[in-house]
Every structure is written in structure tokens, then in C-alpha cells.
């Protein structure tokens, strides 16, 4: 089971693995959609051993120049969406006797640089959440792994500028 924002980006996988790759559209800012998809996925597949939470994007610029809508959206995507995905999966994993959640975070959850305040806020937040929840669910044979990659030559860091109102603010999205 995989979720994407745009199925066209994984059309080759859907075509190559029609019997083994089920692809669904998911907007991680839509909490009811997260819950419905998680519930439906566990029902359909009966058990899920590993969940990888990878949704996120960077919003770069001085804190005071970002709009309220931009602030709300990055928090909803990078922090709240991941929290709700994990919260939705935990009861199912507890019922099935265990599992593992892999949360993709960033080196930006450990250090802070100017012009990245909201990105860092979301990454520090998801890391604190996962560290705490990992302790809460360890007794249920549920593990949580944080992956904190550093800089890489990907579209996230080096891609085209999108959604820029000024040269000082660059928003790049990662994942599909």
C-alpha cells in the first residue's frame, strides 16, 4: 500500500506491480482521510508490519515574512499529518501484536539555521513526538524509528523554485 499526491508520478510502479502495489491518493492535511485510509488499509491487508511516514516540504524564509496560511500549511503537513498517521496506526498495531513505524524527519530536527524556522519547528516537533510515543508503545512490541537525513542533491534542496513570492523564500516539496 502506498499513498501519493499524484498517481502519475508512480504510474510505472502501478503498471509493473498491479497485483502487489495498491496506490491511493492522500492529502496528509486531511485528518479524516488519514484515519479512513489507515482503517481501510488494515482491514484490507489484515496486518501491516511497517508504516513509513514521509510527507513533508520545506518552507524557507524569515519567520516574519511567511503568511499565516503558509505557517498553518507546513505545520499541518510536516507535523500534524505525521502525528495523525501514527496515532491512527497504533491501535491496529497493538491489536496485531506489534509493528514498526518509520518517520522520515531531517537533520533539521537537530540543528537550526536562519531562514528555516518553520521547517525546523516541524522537524523538532515530530522528533519529540516520536521519541515520546516510542516509549509509550514499546511494551506493545511497536517500534518507532526516526530517519534524519542530511543534505542531499535532490529536488527538495536543488529543484525548481515553486510558490515563491520573493527570491528570499523558496518552498520545495519532497516525496510524491
> Looking at the domain assignment, is residue 23 inside a domain?
no
Distance, in Å, from the CA atom of 3 to the CA atom of 7, rounded to the nearest integer, reads 9
Rounded mean pLDDT, 116-126: 94
Q: Which residue range is the domain that position 96 belongs to?
A: 49-174
> Looking at the domain assignment, is residue 166 inside a domain?
yes
Judge whether residue 111 has pLDDT over 90: no
**In this structure, what DSSP letter does residue 36 have?**
H
> Looking at the domain assignment, is residue 9 inside a domain?
no
> Looking at the domain assignment, is residue 21 inside a domain?
no
| Count: domains in the chain | 1
> Looking at the domain assignment, is residue 30 inside a domain?
no
Which residues are identified as catalytic? 105, 119, 123
pLDDT digit string, tens, across residues 159-176:
444 333 332 333 333 333
CATH code of the domain containing 105? 3.40.50.720
Q: Given this model, what pLDDT does residue 110 score?
A: 86
Task: Cell 501491516: give the residue.
Answer: 48
- Quick check: 107 and 150 in contact, CB under 8 A? yes
> Looking at the domain assignment, is residue 2 inside a domain?
no
pTM given for the model: 0.83
pLDDT digit string, tens, across residues 7-24:
999 999 999 999 999 999
Amino acid at each position: 500500500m502506498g499513498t501519493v499526491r499524484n498517481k502519475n508520478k508512480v504510474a510505472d510502479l502501478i503498471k509493473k506491480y498491479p497485483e502487489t502495489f495498491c496506490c491511493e491518493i492522500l492529502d496528509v492535511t486531511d485528518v479524516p482521510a488519514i484515519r479512513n485510509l489507515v482503517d481501510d488499509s488494515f482491514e484490507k491487508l489484515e496486518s501491516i508490519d511497517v508504516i513509513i511516514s514521509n510527507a513533508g516540504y520545506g518552507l524557507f524564509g524569515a519567520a516574519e515574512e511567511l503568511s499565516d496560511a503558509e505557517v498553518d500549511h507546513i505545520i499541518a503537513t510536516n507535523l500534524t499529518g505525521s502525528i495523525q498517521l501514527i496515532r491512527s496506526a497504533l491501535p491496529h498495531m497493538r491489536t496485531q501484536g506489534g509493528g514498526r513505524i518509520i518517520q522520515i524527519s531531517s537533520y533539521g530536527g537537530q540543528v537550526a539555521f536562519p531562514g528555516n524556522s518553520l521547517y525546523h519547528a516541524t522537524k523538532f516537533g515530530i522528533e519529540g513526538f516520536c521519541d515520546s510515543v516510542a516509549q509509550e508503545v514499546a511494551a506493545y512490541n511497536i517500534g518507532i524509528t526516526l530517519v534524519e537525513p542530511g543534505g542531499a542533491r535532490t529536488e527538495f534542496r536543488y529543484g525548481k523554485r515553486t510558490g515563491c513570492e520573493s527570491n528570499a523564500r523558496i518552498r520545495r516539496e519532497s516525496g510524491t
